[in-house]
């Protein structure tokens, strides 16, 4: 019978591989657990398994977040217009500087128009306080002009859908 430590090591290796293969926006912990169990030859139902995999995922994600902030800005250049509005790095948003807040949707949420590398972005986003500053959080979405125009076009359909649900 394999020792628990040897099994844990096999699981650690498997999880690391899986997380580097998978699309982090979509993969779930459950999927990672299942694949890791198969690769490491370990029972998914082992009492220590779930908590251990959860911990590994958290380590991986926080390590990746530190690296990704710099990497994301370079990525945006290559991806082009479609994703130009999806930059999450608060550093990029602050660096550009020009950020006009149009309205407040709630205590924490604003709509702003930003100048991001010469292009206007409509940003619907939550903000948070840090050291007396109000900073944009990663919760929200920045729309390119095309996406904003498309949204405006769909307003009648959206209103109708809202009415049908109320």
Partner 1 sequence: MASKRKRGSKADEKEDEESVAVCEISKNRKVSVRKWRGQVLVDIREYWYKGGECLPGKKGISLTMDQWNVLQEHVKQIDSAVQRVN
Q: Which stretch binds partner 1 (CB under 8 A): 2-10, 57-65, 69-77, 133-141?
A: 133-141
Q: In this chain, which of 13, 20, 98, 130 binds partner 1, going by CB under 8 A?
A: 98
Q: Does 148 bind partner 1 (CB under 8 A)?
A: yes
Q: Does 58 bind partner 1 (CB under 8 A)?
A: no
CB 58 within 8 A of CB 65: no
Going by C-beta distance under 8 Å and a sequence separation of 6 or more, which residues neighbour residue 105? 111, 124
How many helices (H) and strands (E) the chain has is answered by 7, 4
Q: In this chain, which of 82, 95, 134, 135 binds partner 1, going by CB under 8 A?
A: 82
3-state SS, one letter per residue, for 28-95: CHHHHHHHHHHHHCCCCCCCCHHHHHHHHHHHHHHHHHHHHHHHHHHHHHHHCHHHHCCCCCHHHHHH
How far is C-alpha 56 from the chain's CA centre?
Answer: 18
Q: Does 2 bind partner 1 (CB under 8 A)?
A: no
Q: How far is the CB of 127 from partner 1 (least distance, A)?
A: 12
> Which residue, 154, 69, 81, is CA-closest to 121?
81
Closer Cβ to partner 1, 2 or 150, answer by number? 150
Q: In this chain, which of 69, 102, 134, 135 binds partner 1, going by CB under 8 A?
A: 102
Q: Does 96 bind partner 1 (CB under 8 A)?
A: no
What residues make contact with partner 1 under the rule CB under 8 A?
A: 23, 25-26, 82, 86, 88, 98, 100, 102-106, 109, 111, 113-115, 119-120, 122, 124-126, 139-141, 143-148, 150-152, 154-155, 157-158, 161-162, 164-166
């Amino acid at each position: 019978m394999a020792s628990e430590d040897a099994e844990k090591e096999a699981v650690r290796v498997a999880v690391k591989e899986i997380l580097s293969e998978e699309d982090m926006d979509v993969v779930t912990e459950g999927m990672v657990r299942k694949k890791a169990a198969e690769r490491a030859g370990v029972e998914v139902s082992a009492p220590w398994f779930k908590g251990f995999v959860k911990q590994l995922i958290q380590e991986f994600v926080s390590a990746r977040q530190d690296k990704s902030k710099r990497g994301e800005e370079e990525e945006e250049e290559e991806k082009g217009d479609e994703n130009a509005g999806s930059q999450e790095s608060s550093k990029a948003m602050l660096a550009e500087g020009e950020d006009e807040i149009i309205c407040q949707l709630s205590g924490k949420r604003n709509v702003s128009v930003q100048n991001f590398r010469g292009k206007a972005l409509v940003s619907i986003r939550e903000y948070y306080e840090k050291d007396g500053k109000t900073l944009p959080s990663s919760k929200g979405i920045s729309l390119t002009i095309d996406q904003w125009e498309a949204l405006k076009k769909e307003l009648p359909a959206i209103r109708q859908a809202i009415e049908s649900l109320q």
